[in-house]
Structure 1
Amino acid sequence: MSVDNAVQQTRGAATLSDVPSYPDVPTYLNILGNLHIWEGDGWKKESMAWKTSAYIASNLSGMPEFTFSGPNARAFLSRLSINNVEKWPIGKSKHLVMLDENGYIANHGLTVRDGEESYRHFAAMPWALYKAPDLGIDVEIGMREIFIFQVAGPSSLEILEELTGEPLRSLAFLEIRNIRIPGIDPAATIELSRIGMSGTLAYEVRGDLEHGPAVFDAVYRAGESFGIQRLGWRTYVVNHTEGGFPQQGCTFLPAAFADPGFVSHPLFGAALPPHQTSGPFSGSTDRYDIRARLRTPFEVNWGWMAKFDHDFIGREALEAEAASPRRKTVVLRWNKEDVLDVFSSQFEQGAEYRNFEFPTTPQSPAGDHADKVTVDGRQVGVSSLAVYSYYYREMLSHSTIDVDLADIGTQVVLHWGYADGRIKHIRATVERYPYLDLPANKDIDLTSTPA
């Protein structure tokens, strides 16, 4: 398929539901072109699920899966990505990070190598399609609509084994396996991957979008006795913040939104909300400053992925930054008394401070949010959206901050509010990153997990 045909197919794809309608779930929203749960089992229960039981989430569904195939497919992805794609076993996943010419993250997402000359890229924007004509590399590009369900938490493996009726604990981190689900068309290709963003044991279940509602319900029913929760968009970014996974559209804006050609393109940029590309943006920084909302790989602690052994878009800018990185991402823990002052202002006469919406502010979209972070009146960083962690009973945020101030215990001041409104100076402390103090997915020994 040509690039133009793939783009046309992306634009013209039918909107399908990827989750069933449950009578006890009151609010659904069409986000990313598909029906998603806004709040499933209550945000407090949902935010506890990846530490104490498990959740199922559909929030990554809605963006199509792209395939790149042919003898030049590897060279094509190499030209786009900061990662080395040469040493990549077939059947394994890789998190590819793609930049614009200025070294900012334009797009990132998971990619699977299916064969010697075949790759699948999903949960990402069509940046590769947009840049394909400029690269001049002959590659076959295809597209299909898929569902992506995340099943995460200490009970996730038991639930999936209950669902499939087969042992799955030999599936290693980043590996993929096809599974069969009772009640689902046996001809359907459903794959399971041990990957996730919660910071704990997590898996993704993926397949053709038409099977999404039935698969979602099958996982949910298999997990009811294990206490599974249906995680909605309202709580989705809490696990990113606790687990230390920055995400475009959630904790920063992709630089594709700052590319005039991408934004004005009738197929790529037509569906983007105008405020996400030109402002006014959210937060106490200049509300039209898009740079405050962009990130480089080093600023989100992904600099280690960059391999300067190949030519890629943005290499010159990234290599210059690598010589002396200026900022990195940390977790900020907000001062409780200052947070309570924000609530108190809602009950006083006069201009109140910007209110908090639990568990995340702003709730959706959130990637354009940027608050000033200062020390002794000097700006030293930018903080992303505010998250209330019910598990820790703390207000937290990710912040890019000057590297010489990134040590745990450093005291800073976060400017909460809008640049043209009343600002609350909230004291905050640099804390561990990631903040979640539970074993990470890749480090969990599954030999002791109940069968």
Structure 2
Amino acid sequence: MPPETLAAAIARAGDPVALLRNAATPPHTFPIAPEFTNWRSEQRAWATTCALLDQSHHMTDLFVEGPDAQRLLRDLAVNTFANFGVNRAKQYVAVGPDGSLIGDAILFHLEGELYDLVGHPMVIDWVQFHLETGNYAATAERDDNSAVRSGPPRFYRYELQGPTAAAVIEQATCAPLPETKFFHMAEFSIAGRRVRGLRHGMAGQPGFELFGPWADGDAVLAALLDAGRDHGLVRAGAKAYSTANLESGWVPAPLPAIFGDDPVLRAYREWLPATAVGSLGGSVDSAEITDYYLTPFDIGYGRTVRFDHEFVGRAALERMADAPPQRKVTLVWNAEDVAAAIGSLFAPGPGAKHLELPKARYALHQQDKVLAGGAQVGVSLDCGYIANERAMVSLATVDVAHSAPGTEVTVLWGEEPNSAKPQVEEHRLRQIRATVAPVPYVQFARDEYRGK
């Protein structure tokens, strides 16, 4: 029996908001060890020495190849493809016809007509749908994450992050680190294996994402761990890894804007399995699904948008580009209010919605109201604890008038009424004071990572 489509699931639930707010789908998980030491020390490592994060299992790859591979990708991306040669990568951003986000991923240009789109499935599903239903001379091979796939992945991926990452690579390769521009790739030889490396910073720290055939992964990992002994290398597990985006400022899972009446969106929902869409959580409680949509400008992708080509959603983004109404920020949550919310576990209940550490996001698509003077002025999107800063923070998009660092706002934490999601216990809404701060929050990331 074929899986239920998203269109059929919406019809069964009555509307998209009811479907997503009560979905049993848990937040995205990383199918690797939760901790190798403890998540506090593992977070600390990427700020002081070097952390090794295993990215082999939690992402989906879509390998697109053929004469029209780039045309397909360009038709769906806000990004420019000028000068996008082999051994380069970019953060690939796709929007719907109304300019609202479908999703983002990392696009690698591996060979002449071969590209690898890597990330959460939202944008990968969108690209695959257009390939299968459009007129493109290209093929695709999909490699789902390890929670879905049977057997090993096609590639291993190891992320080295931190001040001593370069020294670890030089010792493992027995060669000087080549000069590599941000989001360009270099080639290395490690343990006699050819390794490709993307220069970037997942946690806003210097580093490389190293990848190659799965069969080579164990040998490469052993060589990196051996070299890392002299440079303070620490393996980081799923708990620490889940918080890296809070330091670099990347919003991991905006709700895909796929619920409109456009004929292409209707056809997409008939094609897409219902299981491909995750749960919606938080204090944003509108009955209109479009109130949960975000644009590239809302979450800091404005400089990625280029109007040098035709793409889905271009006209809508052109209308927004001159004066986007919202801006991405970091919210630093008030320590006393956070402690009181956690402390409500030890008082007669119901208390606050449980704040799990280090990552408190309990739905795939987390959206909590940001208030000022009792009125909603934005949305808090992803929240967790940064041990290096000893702070609970969230990434948010707020009205420009409330986006200056130092502005005082309030995050409304929880749901009321409580949804039927299995991870939601009986609780009461809790107001948590917060202060607007820059994004990325970590100074090094602001100066060296986003500055590139």
TM-score range, shorter chain: 0.7 to 0.9
- What's 1:354 paired with? 353
The CA RMSD over aligned residues, in Å, is 2.8
- What's 2:316 paired with? 317
> Within the alignment, does 1:154 sit opposite 2:187 as a pair?
no
User: 2-side partners of 1:438 and 1:48: how far apart?
Assistant: 14
Per the TM alignment, residue 87 of structure 1 is displaced from its structure 2 partner at its CA by 2.4
> Unaligned stretches of 5+ in structure 1?
1-30, 446-451
User: 1-side partners of 2:335 and 2:90: how far apart?
Assistant: 39
> Within the alignment, does 1:269 sit opposite 2:273 as a pair?
yes
> Unaligned stretches of 5+ in structure 2?
1-26, 144-153, 418-426
> Within the alignment, does 1:385 sit opposite 2:394 as a pair?
no
User: 1-side partners of 2:349 and 2:30: how far apart?
Assistant: 41
User: 1-side partners of 2:291 and 2:213: how far apart?
Assistant: 37
User: 2-side partners of 1:286 and 1:64: how far apart?
Assistant: 30
Distance 1:215 1:261, change over 3 A: farther
User: 2-side partners of 1:386 and 1:103: how far apart?
Assistant: 25
- What's 2:16 paired with? none
- What's 2:65 paired with? 69
Distance 1:210 1:271, change over 3 A: farther
Q: Are 1:264 and 1:270, in contact at CA under 8 Å, matched by a contact in 2?
A: no
Q: Are 1:285 and 1:419, in contact at CA under 8 Å, matched by a contact in 2?
A: no
- Kindly report which structure 2 residues correspond to 1:171-182, keeping only aligned pairs within 5 A, or say none: 171-182=180-191
User: 2-side partners of 1:35 and 1:169: how far apart?
Assistant: 32
Per the TM alignment, residue 441 of structure 1 is displaced from its structure 2 partner at its CA by 4.8
Deviations 1:356-404 (A, max 9, x none): 11111036xx531111111111111110232111111111101110112
Per the TM alignment, residue 322 of structure 1 is displaced from its structure 2 partner at its CA by 1.4
Number of matched pairs: 400
Per the TM alignment, residue 419 of structure 1 is displaced from its structure 2 partner at its CA by 2.3
- What's 2:244 paired with? 239
Per the TM alignment, residue 264 of structure 1 is displaced from its structure 2 partner at its CA by 5.4
User: 2-side partners of 1:241 and 1:81: how far apart?
Assistant: 25
User: 2-side partners of 1:263 and 1:227: how far apart?
Assistant: 48
Distance 1:396 1:172, change over 3 A: same
Deviations 1:181-209 (A, max 9, x none): 21x6x4xx421111232111021011123
Distance 1:272 1:51, change over 3 A: same
Per the TM alignment, residue 299 of structure 1 is displaced from its structure 2 partner at its CA by 0.6
Counterpart amino acid of residue 253 in structure 1: L
Distance 1:213 1:262, change over 3 A: farther
Distance 1:283 1:157, change over 3 A: same
User: 2-side partners of 1:160 and 1:293: how far apart?
Assistant: 42
Q: 2:332 is paired with a residue of what secondary structure?
A: strand
**Further displaced range: 86-95 or 310-319:** 86-95
Counterpart amino acid of residue 435 in structure 1: Y
- What's 1:335 paired with? 334
Distance 1:262 1:207, change over 3 A: farther
> Within the alignment, does 1:42 sit opposite 2:38 as a pair?
yes
- What's 1:197 paired with? 202
Per the TM alignment, residue 154 of structure 1 is displaced from its structure 2 partner at its CA by 0.5
Q: Are 1:56 and 1:228, in contact at CA under 8 Å, matched by a contact in 2?
A: yes
**Further displaced range: 134-143 or 37-46:** 134-143
Q: 1:107 is paired with a residue of what secondary structure?
A: strand
Distance 1:353 1:377, change over 3 A: same
- Kindly report which structure 2 residues correspond to 1:33-432, keeping only aligned pairs within 5 A, or say none: 35-59=31-55, 61-125=57-121, 126=124, 127-143=126-142, 145-182=154-191, 186=193, 189-248=194-253, 252-255=254-257, 262=268, 265=271, 269=273, 271-272=275-276, 276=278, 279=279, 281-286=280-285, 290-291=289-290, 293-362=292-361, 366-420=363-417, 421-432=427-438
Q: 1:159 is paired with a residue of what secondary structure?
A: helix
Distance 1:390 1:213, change over 3 A: same
Distance 1:116 1:385, change over 3 A: closer
Q: Scaled by the length of structure 1, what TM-score is found?
A: 0.80
User: 2-side partners of 1:151 and 1:71: how far apart?
Assistant: 34
User: 1-side partners of 2:321 and 2:72: how far apart?
Assistant: 24
Q: Are 1:153 and 1:201, in contact at CA under 8 Å, matched by a contact in 2?
A: yes
Distance 1:328 1:34, change over 3 A: closer
Q: Are 1:161 and 1:167, in contact at CA under 8 Å, matched by a contact in 2?
A: yes
Distance 1:210 1:35, change over 3 A: farther
Q: Which has the higher contact order (CA 8 A, sep 6+)?
A: 2
User: 2-side partners of 1:233 and 1:374: how far apart?
Assistant: 32
Q: Scaled by the length of structure 2, what TM-score is found?
A: 0.80
Per the TM alignment, residue 124 of structure 1 is displaced from its structure 2 partner at its CA by 4.4
